[in-house]
A = this chain, B = another copy of it.
Amino acid sequence: MKFGGTSMAGTERIRRVAGIVKRQQEAGHEVAVVVSAMAGETDRLVNFCREANALYDRAEYDVVVAAGEQITSGLLALHLQALGCKARSWLGWQLPVKTDDAHAAARIEDITSPELLASMAAGEIAVIPGFQGLDPAGRVTTLGRGGSDTSAVAVAAAVQADRCDIYTDVDGVYTTDPRIVAKARKLKYVTYEEMLELASVGSKVLQTRSVSLAMKEGVRVQVLSSFIDENAPPADSIPGTMIVSDEELDRILAESEEGQEMERQLITGIAADKNEAKVTLTRVADRPGAVAAIFGPLAEANINVDMIIQNIAKDKGETDVTFTCPQADLARTQALLEERKETIGYYRMIADSKVAKVSVVGVGMRSHAGVAATMFKALADRGINIQAISTSEIKVSVLIDSDEVELAVRVLHTAYELDAG
């Protein structure tokens, strides 16, 4: 079980969490709980570090910010004890959660803890601070913001958990954002690949790295709401959304009565991302190396370029090159390309932040043609202009005017027959 910062913000909320955890133990489960710092605490600590030293040493930053999860793990153990449960905290260096030495953005390498397994087998609830680990030199590391989801999946893999329940402020993964489409449906199942694609296009339910790790380790992850009634009997049914492998989903659907009736959806979800920006360089020389001259420096600067369109070369061996990058990196991108105007040899640079990316995601499209065609037609019927297209095996994304994003999502949600009721 994993609880985020909102769930851990203060005595009353931690008491609620303890009640939810206790119910799971009472249902006969051995339980390990991974916790975040209280909401706001990590920001407070990060701010102290920035004030100390703008170019802070990441090893010392880790020492400071890891304290937030240490506090909540001890407190949850105390709250569980107050409810009569046996419980103890296991800090990152105690288990240990072995990581590499990339401070502030470390990767978990191994969690092997016979003591943890013995303690859980003896009925003791293990409370583990998320986000923190131990590097090969014996120093504290942290996994980067949002790292507690990854900690939870790693712990679940280490204890060979039946399930990794991630309690959040939403009650599951939806076919699309319910704030945009009232008829959005909560998904009972979603595959790792779909979840990764949804995360990459703006559906920030889980940290991407935690989903990758769950896929690699075969951990069944459930996303569910922490605002459930902590006195309700624990449901072994699935109140949230279960994230599983493609194969397991096939098996589940084949075995359940419900599944046999249920036709597998072609499209699982629709996501919108308004954080993209579009850059066009006009009249770039249509010669070998021109594209490399543009995208090489951006890659070196860690700017993540997504869609790329190169128009058909016009007369005089010139072409227009358009691409998208995160809005947050737009200023840097423009500066880098401005500096290299001579080398690249373009005429004008045109930047546009008023764009959005809309994506349809579903493993079903692997075996079905026509998904993209349906998308293009549905958008064209409503007069929505497509500025760029990119595809992967289980995703089709289009770039459109950001004013039209809500309309596009609603139109596609209906077109792929995802509307509830």
Instruction: Mark the stretch among A21-29, A88-96, A304-312 that contacts chain B.
Output: A88-96
Q: Hey, which chain B residues are within 8 Å of A337, CB to CB?
A: none
> Is A274 interfacial (CB-CB < 8 Å)?
no
C-alpha gap A140/B70 in the complex (Å): 11
A59, A63, A93: which has the most chain B beta carbons within 10 Å? A63
Of listed A70, A75, A140, residue having the most chain B CB within 10 A: A75
Q: Could you mark each residue 59-85 of chain A with 1 if its beta carbon is under 8 Å from any beta carbon of chain B, else 0? A: 111111011101101110111011000
Kindly provide the distance from the CB of A95 to the nearest chain B CB, expressed in whole angstroms. 11
Given A52-B14, A78-B57, CB of A91 within 8 Å of CB of B63: yes
- How far is the CB of A85 from the nearest CB of chain B, in Å? 11
A33-56 vs B: 1/0 string, CB under 8 Å?
A: 000000000000100110111001
| Cα-based distance from A66 to B89 in the complex (angstroms) | 13
**A64, A66, A82: which has the most chain B beta carbons within 10 Å?**
A64
A 361-373 to B, binary, CB cutoff 8 A, 1 in contact else 0: 0000000000000
Q: Separation in Å of the A113 CB from the closest CB of chain B?
A: 12
Residue of B nearest to A73 (CB): B63
Specify which chain B residues have a CB less than 8 angstroms from the CB of A88 in the assembled complex: 59-60
A71/B59 contact (C-beta < 8 A), A51-B11, A82-B53 known:
no
A15 to B52, CA, bound (A): 7
CB distance from A46 to the nearest CB of B (A): 11
Cβ-based interface call for A114 (8 A): no
A73 contact set on B, CB distance < 8 A: 63
State which size class the interface on A falls in. Answer: 35 or more
Indicate with 1 or 0, residue by residue over A359-385, a CB within 8 angstroms of chain B CB atoms. 000000000000000000000000000
Check if B91 sits within 8 Å of A74, measured CB to CB.
Answer: no
**Does chain B have a CB within 8 A of A233?**
no
Given the interface pairs A45-B71, A91-B140, A94-B138, the reply to whether A79 lies near B63 with Cβ below 8 Å is: no
Q: Could you write out 16 A-B pairs with CB less than 8 Å apart?
A: A11-B51, A45-B71, A48-B75, A57-B81, A59-B88, A60-B74, A60-B75, A61-B74, A63-B70, A63-B77, A64-B70, A66-B70, A67-B67, A67-B71, A70-B70, A94-B139
**Extra 4 A-B pairs, beta carbons < 8 Å, given A64-B70, A66-B70:** A11-B51, A11-B52, A45-B71, A60-B81
